[in-house]
Amino acid sequence: MRSHKGRELKLDCPVSQFQNILVYMKLPIAEHAKSLLIEAGLSGWTLEAVALRAGCAKGLVAYHHRTRSALLGAVAAQLRGDRLRRRGAALEGTGSAAIDALWTVIVDEHRSGESAAWFALLASRDPEIRLGQHAPADEATLLGRRMVTALSLETDAVAVGHTTIAALDGFAAALLQGGLVEDVRDAYHRFWLGLLG
C-alpha cells in the first residue's frame, strides 16, 4: 500500500516493478512524439496528441519530459541521431555508390516528412530544443571519417564531417522548398564532382 494525497493506493505489483513501468514509458513517449511531429508538423503537435498516440495520460508525458520544450528537445536529439546513423550507414559503401546512397537517404527523409520535422525544430530558438539539435563534435568527426574512408580522401575528418552535414541539410532544404527531385539531384552530383574533382 502507498499513500497519495491522504488516500491509500493499492498497487497490483511491487513498487519497484511499478517504477520500472514508469521508466520504460519515457522512450516510447519520445518515439510517439517524434512520429507525430513527422506526420503532423509542429502545428498538429501537442502534449495531448502525444499522450493520445502513446496511449497514456498527459500527466505521464509531463512526468517524464517536464515541458513541451524538453520533449521537443528529446525529439530533436532522436532525429539528429537517426539522421547520423542513416548517413553513416550510407557511407559504408565507397566512391559513387556511397554518394548515391547518401542521396537516397536525403530523398527518403524528405518523402517521410522527417526533413520537414527536423527543419521545423531547427527554426526554434528555445534553448531546450536547441540543445537536442546540437551535434557533439564526435558525431561530425564520425561522419567525416566515414566520408574520408568512403571517398579515399586525404583531409581533415572533422572539417569533412561539418561540410557534409551542412551540404546534406542544404540539399534537403532545397527539396523541402519544392525543388524538383531531378534538379536537386543534379545539383547534388555537381557539388560532389566539384568538391572531389
One domain for residues 120 and 178: yes
One domain for residues 103 and 21: no
The pLDDT, as a whole number, for residue 139 is 87
The pLDDT, as a whole number, for residue 59 is 87
The pLDDT, as a whole number, for residue 24 is 53
Answer whether 171's CB lies under 8 Å from 187's CB.
yes
Residue 107 lies in a domain: yes
One domain for residues 37 and 102: no
The pLDDT, as a whole number, for residue 27 is 67
The pLDDT, as a whole number, for residue 196 is 80
The pLDDT, as a whole number, for residue 159 is 87
Sole residue written with cell 568512403: 150
One domain for residues 184 and 99: yes
Residues present in the chain in total: 197
Residue 67 amino acid letter: T
Residue 186 lies in a domain: yes
pLDDT (tens digit, 0 to 9) for every residue of the chain, 197 residues total?
Answer: 443 444 444 445 444 544 444 455 666 899 999 999 999 999 999 999 999 998 888 888 888 888 999 999 999 999 999 999 999 999 999 999 999 999 999 999 999 999 999 999 999 999 999 988 887 778 889 999 999 999 999 888 888 898 899 999 999 999 999 999 999 999 999 999 988 87
One domain for residues 103 and 197: yes
Look up the pTM and report it. Answer: 0.82
One domain for residues 128 and 167: yes
3-state class of 4 per DSSP? Answer: strand
Cα gap 56→48, rounded to integer Å: 10
One domain for residues 86 and 183: yes
State which residues form the domain around 40: 11-65
Number of separate domains in the chain: 2
Residue 149 lies in a domain: yes
Cα gap 61→67, rounded to integer Å: 9
Cα gap 50→56, rounded to integer Å: 9
CATH code assigned at 17: 1.10.10
